[in-house]
Amino acid sequence: MAAVTLLSARGLTRHFGGLRAVDGVDFDLESGRIHALIGPNGAGKTTFVSLLCGRIPVQSGSITFAGQDITRLPAHERVARGIAYTFQITSIYANLSVFDNVALPVQRRGSRTLAADTMAALDRVGLAGLAGQTAGTLAYGHQRLLEIAMGLALSPRLLILDEPTQGLALSEIDGFKALVRSVIPETTVLLIEHNMDVVMDLAETITVLNFGQTLASGSPAAIRANPAVQAAYLGGGHA
């Protein structure tokens, strides 16, 4: 299958004062794949995807999505074009029902049968039985699932998952992996993840960020064998 580039970034930069959170990153995302973004804490991963989805404005550089320049588009218009972001820190509507949480993205996508489509979206992550419950009272793992369900309910072309397995039990992680695989190839997945088992198992391509710059990019095997990556993860400079 010929690779089609869904998103590409060139020279993407964002500094916070003297901190070079993202510093001239070039990045290409192929359509219909699972691409993982890894790196030590503070490497700029969340800032980088925030630039892609528009939560944080770009300082310099450009972003192209599906052939169009989206560098200056506000976040909500990027969502309309098919970029969905799920938050690292669970950001659901705690006081609203589980149903309402997912009905919002379903109605944003446009639906004539809101109730049925919402229940279908909940069913996909196994939360249909909890539709009437207040979202804030769900167990943590279920809140994480709800967060992902909200992203998926937008039927995005690109789903950005920011540390989705953080705090999940081992048994829940298997379910999560199956869920992510099930959205391919209609949805391309960009995954920030610290759990290396999940990364190695799911990702077809891995990009490593360090100090706001791309350290390496390639297949899981190539990344695992890369000495610079090993150095960064083992405490850089001394190796």
Partner 1 sequence: MTRFLDRSLILHLAVIAALFAAQYLLPSYHHTNIARIMVLAVFAMGYNIAFGYTGLLSLGHALFFAAGLYATGLGVEQWGLPTGIALIGGLAAGGAVAVATGLLALRTGGVSFMIVTLMFAQAGYLTILYFGAVTRGDEGFVISTAARSLGGLVLSDSTTRYFMALALFAVAMLAKLALVRSPTGRVLVALRENEERSRMLGFDPFRYKLLALGISGLYAGAAGAAYAVLFGYVGATFASIQYSILPLLYVLLGGAGTVLGPFLGALVMFYLIDISSGYTTAHLAVVGLALLILVLFAPKGILGALRERGLKWLP
Handedness of CA 9, 49, 118, 141 (dihedral sign): positive
154 binds partner 1 (CB under 8 A): yes
CA 112, chain centre distance (Å): 28
Q: State which of positions 34-53 bind partner 1 (CB under 8 A).
A: 53
115 binds partner 1 (CB under 8 A): yes
CB nearer partner 1, residue 23 or residue 163: 163
Q: How many angstroms separate the Cα of 195 from the Cα of each of 35, 92, 163? A: 14, 23, 9
Of residues 70 and 203, the one with the C-beta less far from partner 1: 70
Which region holds residue 165: left if phi is over 0, alpha if psi is between -120 and 50, else beta? alpha
- Contact range with partner 1 by CB under 8 A, out of 61-69, 86-94, 177-185, 224-232: 86-94
Q: Which of 66, 93, 166, 173 binds partner 1 (CB under 8 A)?
A: 93
The answer to whether residue 56 forms part of the interface with partner 1 (CB under 8 A) is no
Task: Please name which of 201, 235, 239, 237 lies closest in space to residue 221, comparing C-alpha atoms.
Answer: 201
Which residues are near partner 1 by CB under 8 A? 53, 55, 74-77, 79-80, 84-85, 87, 91-96, 100, 103-105, 107-108, 114-115, 150, 154
